Amino acid sequence: MPPVDLTPQVDWEEFLRRFRWAQGEHISFIGPTGSGKTTLARQLLHRRAYVAALATKPRDKTMDGLIRNERFKRIRSWEERPPIIGRNGQRVVLWPEFRRPEDQLNQQYQLSIALREMFVAGGWCVFADELFYLCHTLKLTKLLETYWTQGRSLGLSLVGGTQRPAHVPLFAYDQATHLFFWRDNDETNLRRVSGLGGMSAKEIRAAVTRLPEHHALYVNTRDGEMMITRAPRG
Ligand SMILES: Nc1ncnc2c1ncn2[C@@H]1O[C@H](COP(=O)(O)OP(=O)(O)OP(=O)(O)O)[C@@H](O)[C@H]1O
Ligand SMILES: [Mg+2]
């Protein structure tokens, strides 16, 4: 693996040309709040035909954008999902009602049903942008763990992001084929991500503390390819 200083910086179009994402490979985004995880993640979902975005906040501009601009269908439960016709795929935002605190129980119920159903069906890409919330507040760690560890053979991709890698299961990124890091100086986070993707602790530390704003360090953990890029603002 070349030293990080020699990592090529490529524009977004070039990145997309080089980025190979096979079905069943997981993608993980690690960076502090506001770094650009969600912005970049959204741009990759075009590559998959069956996508379910899990929406967990009462209001969420990203999810609104997927529904408005990218024709994702909002559903409140997996049951509401329209039938799949032909091979055109399906793109849904699963967004259970969340207006009162007690709605969290329904949220947990609906998301776990959907995750179970997709697991049985196989072939889905699950966009889980708020891993901390899904794992801890909704207690879905066990189910998500099954995706991370078994998903590959079932063609299930998990696309997940976190600001706090030390607070989500290690599976959330050590099972990912594709890792994206943003600039981070938090010691706990740095310690947690050190050595991921076959990079030495020193290297990854040097890389993520030096990244320019909104730039991501991409690491392909399968073949060791690395690039630095910046997604368009969207
Ligand atoms: N590549 C970029 N170039 C310029 N601005 C960007 C870029 N990526 C993100 N931004 C801006 O930074 C802000 C935060 O981006 P985004 O929501 O993607 O961050 P995030 O990492 O998902 O944050 P959080 O952890 O809070 O969810 C947005 O206003 C977005 O427009
Ligand atoms: Mg985000």
Per-residue pLDDT reduced to its tens digit, 79-105: 999 988 888 899 999 999 999 999 999
pLDDT at 86: 81
Share of the chain above pLDDT 90, in %: 75
- From first CA to last CA, the distance across the chain in angstroms is 32
| Strands (E) located in the chain | 27-30, 50-54, 73-75, 90-94, 125-128, 157-162, 178-181, 216-220, 226-229
As a whole number, mean pLDDT of residues 217-231 equals 93
Assign residue 185 the CATH number of its domain: 3.40.50.300
How many domains, in total, are found in the chain? 1
50-75 residue pLDDT tens: 999 999 999 999 999 999 999 999 99
pLDDT at 38: 94
| Domain contains 62 | yes
| Domain contains 234 | no
Distance 120 CA to ligand 1 centre (A): 34
- The residue segments making up the domain with residue 109 are 4-229
| Domain contains 175 | yes
Q: Is the pLDDT of residue 2 over 60?
A: no
Distance 32 CA to ligand 1 centre (A): 10
As a whole number, mean pLDDT of residues 157-171 equals 92
Q: Is 36 in the pocket of ligand 1 (CB under 6 A)?
A: yes
Distance 151 CA to ligand 1 centre (A): 28
Share of the chain above pLDDT 70, in %: 97
Which ligand has the shortest distance to the CA of 43? 1
Maximum C-alpha span of the chain? 51
3-class state of residue 78 by DSSP? helix
| Domain contains 205 | yes
> How does residue 5 score in pLDDT terms, banded at 50, 70 and 90?
low
